[in-house]
Amino acid sequence: MSVVVTGLGVVGGFGAGEDALRAVLASGAPVTASIEDAGLALDGHSPRSQRASVVPKDALRPWLAPGKARRMSPASRLAVAGSVQAIEAAGLASEDVAGPETAVSLGTYFGSTSYTYKLLAQLRETGALSVSPLLFMETVANAHAGQIALMLGLEGPNYTISQREASGALAVARGVDLVRSGRAQRVIAGAADEASPIQHVVLDAYGALARPGAEGVQAARAFGREPTGVLLSEGAALWVLEDEAAARGRGANVRARVLALVRANDATATQTDWGDGAEHLGASLRARLEALDTPLDSIDRIVAGAAGARRGDALELRTLQAAFGDTPLPPLAAPKAATGAYGGGELGAALLALEGADWAPGLWFRAGSDGWAEPVQEAPRGPAERVLVSAVAAGGAACWIVLERADD
Amino acid sequence: MPEIVITGLGAVSPYGVGVAALWEGLLRGETAIAPLDLFDTSGHRTRIGGQVPEAPRGLERERDAAGRAERLSRTDRFAIDAAREALADAGFAQDAPELRRAGLFFGSSTGGMFEAERVLLADPTSALARRFSHVGGQVICAPAIALARDLALGGPVETVTSACSASTMALEAALMSLESGEVELAIAGGADALCELTYSGFNSLRAIDERPARPFRADREGLSIGEGSGMLVLETAAHARARGATVLAVLAGAGSSCDAYHMTAPHPEGKGAIQALERALGAADRGAVAFVNAHGTGTPHNDVAEAQALRAVLGERLADVAVTSTKGAVGHLLGACGALEAVVTVRGLVEGVVPQTPGDGPVDPEAGVALVLGAPARPAPCAAALSTNLAFGGANAALHLRAAGTEGA
């Protein structure tokens, strides 16, 4: 069974909707705010990272009424708004999707850290009897997927997947499996993550976030020889996945076909860092694509998860080099330098890369002669035939998705 | 479609470490739900739960690549202990080369939250409150990472965190990957440890009973929270046959659904649960179902809704189908409950025995199920069973398990 992508919903620090994503990819410069303006400052803490990319106030309003948002955590709001947007973009009405044939498969890195922190603060400061049931409800990691289902009446399987940076790609892969196995006719699949003060402080303490350099400018540069750390962000990226026959039957605008999925693990990784298993991951990717009759030389672009992580970017590059071997590595994009590191930044961008959206050259790389990636002078132009979406997570999990154009 | 079989079981439960401790505890019929001492419960509305009695084997430390110490949480240890047991039960050495290609499909609700709370609940002015390096490793997927590292697993690794259905859905995910040919061997299950976040949260919903949970009883007043892990080794029947493995049971089907009705309450008629059960059973003969290991939390709403769903799927035959709830014995293991209950269900099919649900008092006539009381039931034939979970957020999941050597529909 063939599975296609018919809708995209995106929300991020750049705004909401495809046009906003196109704009930030074209500029190559993330939309950031100081942590104070972003609402990420935490009393008593002085993190070294000073800027983040958070969703602008009121950006979700076209897809989520304030009255309905009131009882949701920030992460649930992002997930629901992105899903409603994706359904609309797929040309589906709410009555089309309600019922048992539509599933949800949502990835989240952390769940709602803001509500978890607030609940623990209640517990610490005013005691267990003061804990709010509303807060608790939204601390549960599948609350966001549950809210999507509740909002849209989706009675199909409802998956929430959390595997660090691979959460979104794995959720898409699980969504594809749900359609292929006949468990659903369509799936809203992707990722949603909020940024919160505690998350900012913890990631900063780990040295995971980009910090201001000597010149006082904070920038996350992917694939750098001197890693910068990542730009903390929040957002959502949701695809509508459908059985191709059903999608074509309703005259949907088919934007991409999911040609292949590959999942593997680097068991050398620890719970908090990337490992050094590029050879194993690369061999797994290569072998699976061969088994799925998807030649590496048929892939003409890669959209990577690289975001400036100290060891993650290097492992991802080495993995791709190991997989491609003697096959030239196609142009390699790192959209998270513009979208920020969380909330499925690579998923929305991958669809636009396939369709040939204009990107700033600073987001594209090629294999350099010294084994590292180097920026290109000019971004690839025009649509691609096949795009490899790459997600290599701290902790070892990796997931790759091959998208191909599905023009009639 | 290849047949998917279960060849190994592992468990850590409030009865202790190991499947034998769990099974013997269940057959004794004494609840393991008791006063907790893992954390101070004096400020909470309730005091009891299902706590694993033996401390997990220390907080072992190892060094990560950046030179920082890494801690293994209680949940990590539960998962590792249960998975090692399951692999040994399946006849695999811990360094078996097959593991290099095996997948891990794992369910958890809170990962290492208990350890993260030691920092996040500390006095904000204390040094401990600033040890954020103790928090960052305790994300929801941390136990799966620790387990994959421990067993050197090189295939897909995925943590499903769909609340109380998480590990049942992890088993469904494993089934999908095995049936599609992505992997031939999978380790699937889940783990969760007690923590104050969930303990206070469920208490805030007034969902916890002050007495040990009494699923399906007329006087039930809520659930008891527990902790532990259940892990299973799954493989294609051809893979198991080729290596001469003993098949314990067949994972004949798995299904999931969403109520899309309410965030914390089940659909009153069990609508979503019916869908999950129907999907798990497919075209299989409903008449072969000998027993059900129900979600059976002991909350007033869940048990009635679940019974309605079972009646809709099994019809009036439900009156003759033995129903048990493991949660009455060990508590509700949250993200791990489905996997632990799958372990119990498989063991039940192997032995032809259905453990009783501890406690006393009459069965709720509104539920109207044939709850196993007083002593284990021995249905004959004992060819197939269902295991169900109805989760927060409306996520439902069900497994259809068949005894080894039985034929599918």
Inter-residue contact A103 to A187 (CB < 8 Å): yes
Average pLDDT, chain B: 94
Q: Which of B139, B159, B394 sits opposite A158 (nearest CB)?
A: B394
Mean pLDDT of A348-364: 96
* CA distances in angstroms from B65 to A312, B116, B311, B392, listed in the order given: 12, 21, 54, 38
pLDDT of B67 reads 52
Q: Does A157 touch chain B (CB under 8 A)?
A: yes
Q: Cα–Cα distance between B357 and B325 in angstroms, integer?
A: 6
pLDDT of B409 reads 53
Burial class for B336, CB neighbours closer than 10 Å (0-12, 13-18, 19+): buried
% of chain A exceeding 90 in pLDDT: 92
Mean pLDDT of A266-295: 97
Q: pLDDT tens, B119-133? A: 999 988 888 888 887
Mean pLDDT of B132-141: 86
**Could B204 and A206 be called an inter-chain contact, meaning their C-beta atoms sit closer than 8 Å?**
no
Based on the residue annotation, tell me whether B337 is a catalytic residue of this protein.
no
pLDDT of A153 reads 98
Based on the residue annotation, tell me whether B164 is a catalytic residue of this protein.
yes
Instruction: Band the pLDDT of B338: cuts 50, 70, 90.
Output: very high
Q: pLDDT tens, A11-23? A: 999 999 999 999 9
Residue B360, pLDDT > 90, answer no
Q: pLDDT tens, B372-404? A: 999 999 999 999 999 999 999 999 999 999 999
Q: Which of A137, A160, A203 sits opposite B263 (nearest CB)?
A: A137
B380 half-sphere exposure, CB direction, 13 A CA radius: 1
pLDDT of B58 reads 44
pLDDT of A19 reads 97
Instruction: Band the pLDDT of B406: cuts 50, 70, 90.
Output: confident
Q: pLDDT tens, A128-143? A: 999 999 999 999 999 9
pTM beyond 0.95: the answer is: yes
Catalytic residue among B134, B239, B332, B400: B332
pLDDT of A237 reads 98
pLDDT of A369 reads 82
Q: Which of B169, B199, B263 would you mutate first to test chain A, the one with the most A CBs within 10 A?
A: B263
**Closest CA in chain A for residue B265:** A137
Residue B230, pLDDT > 50, answer yes
pLDDT of A408 reads 63
Q: Cα–Cα distance between A229 and A214 in angstroms, integer?
A: 15
Residue B257, pLDDT > 90, answer yes
Q: pLDDT tens, B269-289? A: 999 999 999 999 999 999 999
List all residues of chain B from 71 to 130 with a beta carbon under 8 Å from chain A.
Answer: 100, 103-104, 109, 117, 120-121, 124
**Joined tokens for residue B295:** 């979600």
Residue A389, pLDDT > 80, answer yes
Q: Does B148 touch chain A (CB under 8 A)?
A: yes
Q: pLDDT tens, A56-66? A: 999 999 999 99
DSSP assignment string, B239-282: HHHHTTPPP-EEEEEEEEEE--S-SSS--TT-HHHHHHHHHHHT
**Closest CA in chain A for residue B120:** A120
Q: pLDDT tens, A73-113? A: 999 999 999 999 999 999 999 999 999 999 999 999 999 99
Q: Cα–Cα distance between B267 and B368 in angstroms, integer?
A: 18
pLDDT of B62 reads 52
**Closest CA in chain A for residue B106:** A161
Residue A219, pLDDT > 90, answer no
Residue B61, pLDDT > 70, answer no
pLDDT of B125 reads 87
Does the N-terminal peptide bond of residue B381 adopt cis geometry, omega within 30 degrees of 0? Answer: yes
Q: How far is A374 from chain B, CA to nearest CA, in Å?
A: 25
Q: How far is A166 from chain B, CA to nearest CA, in Å?
A: 9
Instruction: Band the pLDDT of B57: cuts 50, 70, 90.
Output: low
**Could A128 and B156 be called an inter-chain contact, meaning their C-beta atoms sit closer than 8 Å?**
no
In chain B, the largest separation of any two C-alpha atoms, in whole Å, equals 64
Mean pLDDT of B290-313: 97
Q: Cα–Cα distance between B280 and B384 in angstroms, integer?
A: 12
Q: Cα–Cα distance between B76 and B145 in angstroms, integer?
A: 9
Q: How many residues does chain A have?
A: 408
pLDDT of B59 reads 43
pLDDT of B70 reads 59
Average pLDDT, chain A: 96
Based on the residue annotation, tell me whether B267 is a catalytic residue of this protein.
no
